């Protein structure tokens, strides 16, 4: 029997994760399944705990499970690293949960646990992730990375006191929209050059550049409808030269993946991406704020994560193609 190591963020979902973990633990005990549980206490702690879990597994069949939101999944992924011997599992207990959307994990935490416990070792599915190198430091991401306005919104959303209120009302995803409207008036756009597999593209008055491994971000927005997490590539979305009013229309349409029809939205895909901006811009990875910089390097890392969510089944996401606006 494989060993399970659960890394729990008790503060995820405005504390909802505590109740989720109690139910998960109760079921594990009722089924007599051995497990180890660790609890994060500060930002970045999940990275340290995932490394500890890997050392405890000592090469044996093991699954390290993030229990929380996308930030918890991001930290556990970075603690495991690319091509880890341990499987990577997830039980959603946050407010956004784009990871569970993109990888077809049940939104109900107990359903996610049932799926996780029912997956034989031989059926673990390898999937891609991305790497972001910023100021000499590498960060892995499983959902998306972004530069510009969306990174600023992610930062402010995570810091906002309104996030607590929205989560209490079970409207956690709306905090992104609230912060977007609040920050829109003061944001200054920049000129950006995006180079994809050696081909450079220049954009004036750029709002943001998002690099996706799967379709969802920002609490359910379908930013990259054709992104597939197992194709060895990353998908790039560039939004530029829009008025503030039209940008709001774009963001509204993102919830249905219809933003690709705007002429100011450009979509690409590739394996190696670099971003150069005329002035420092905000950058995030999986919604976690990384910092500000004039440049960043991103790469697809194919089949880098042993994902314990799909039971070996092929992930059924929207098929990409020219109809989705890719070049």
CA dihedral 211, 216, 220, 226 (to 10 degrees): 110
> 176-212 pLDDT, tens per residue?
777 888 889 889 999 999 999 999 999 999 999 999 9
Confidence band of 171 (pLDDT split at 50, 70, 90) = low
At 120 the pLDDT is: 63
pLDDT, mean over the chain:
88
Q: Which of 137, 183, 288, 314 is catalytic?
A: 288
Res 139 pLDDT > 80: yes
In the prediction, which pLDDT does 232 show? 96
Domains in the chain: boundaries: 3-118, 132-302+316-324
C-beta separation of 300 from 271 below 8 A: yes
Mean pLDDT across 75-104: 92
- Provide the pLDDT confidence category of residue 327 given band limits of 50, 70 and 90: very low
**Cα 10 from Cα 16, distance rounded (Å):** 7
Q: Is 233 a catalytic residue?
A: no
pLDDT band of residue 168 (cuts 50, 70, 90) is low
What are residue 295's phi and psi, to 5 degrees? -155, 155
Q: Where do runs of H (alpha helix) occur along the chain?
A: 16-30, 45-57, 70-80, 98-102, 109-117, 149-159, 162-168, 174-183, 244-254
CATH no. for 132-302+316-324: 2.60.200.40
User: Taking residues 24-43, what's their average pLDDT?
Assistant: 96
Q: Which CATH number fits domain 3-118: 3.40.50.10330, 3.90.660.20, 3.40.50.300, 3.40.50.1820?
A: 3.40.50.10330
pTM of this prediction exceeds 0.85? yes
Angle between helices 244-254 and 174-183 (to 10 degrees): 170
Confidence of residue 1 (pLDDT cuts 50, 70, 90): low
Query: What is the C-alpha to C-alpha distance for residues 153 and 148, in angstroms, rounded to an integer?
Result: 9
% of the chain beyond a pLDDT of 90: 69
Q: At which residue do the structure tokens 């500000």 appear? A: 292
Which tops the pLDDT comparison, 259 or 158?
259
Instruction: Evaluate if residue 43 carries a pLDDT over 80.
Output: yes
């Amino acid at each position: 029997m494989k060993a399970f190591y659960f890394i729990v963020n008790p503060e995820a979902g405005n504390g909802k994760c505590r109740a989720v973990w109690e139910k998960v633990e109760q079921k594990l005990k009722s089924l007599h399944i051995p497990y180890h549980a660790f609890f994060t206490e500060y930002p970045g702690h999940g990275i340290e705990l995932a490394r500890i879990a890997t050392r405890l597994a000592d090469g044996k069949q093991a699954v390290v499970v993030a229990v929380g939101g996308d930030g918890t999944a991001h930290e556990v992924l970075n603690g495991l690293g690319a091509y880890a011997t341990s499987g990577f599992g997830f039980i959603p207990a946050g407010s956004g949960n784009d990871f569970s959307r993109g990888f077809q994990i049940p939104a109900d935490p107990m359903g996610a646990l049932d799926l996780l416990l029912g997956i034989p070792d031989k059926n673990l599915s390898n999937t891609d992730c991305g790497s972001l190198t910023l100021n000499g430091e590498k960060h892995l991401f499983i959902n998306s990375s972004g530069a510009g306005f969306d990174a600023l919104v992610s930062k402010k959303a995570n810091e906002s006191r309104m996030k607590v209120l929205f989560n209490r009302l079970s409207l956690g995803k709306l905090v992104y929209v609230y912060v977007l409207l609040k920050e829109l008036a003061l944001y200054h756009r920049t000129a950006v050059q995006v180079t994809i597999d050696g081909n450079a593209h220049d954009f004036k008055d750029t709002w943001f550049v998002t690099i996706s491994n799967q379709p969802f971000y920002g609490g359910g927005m379908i930013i990259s409808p054709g992104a597939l997490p197992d194709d060895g590539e990353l998908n790039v979305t560039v939004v530029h030269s829009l008025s503030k009013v039209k940008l709001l229309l774009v963001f509204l349409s993102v919830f249905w993946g219809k933003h690709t029809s705007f002429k100011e939205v450009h979509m690409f895909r590739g394996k190696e991406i670099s971003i150069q901006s005329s002035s420092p811009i905000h950058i995030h990875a999986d919604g976690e704020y990384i910092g500000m910089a004039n440049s960043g390097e991103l790469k697809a890392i194919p089949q880098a994560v042993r994902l314990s969510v799909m039971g070996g089944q092929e992930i059924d996401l929207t098929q990409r193609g020219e109809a989705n606006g890719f070049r």
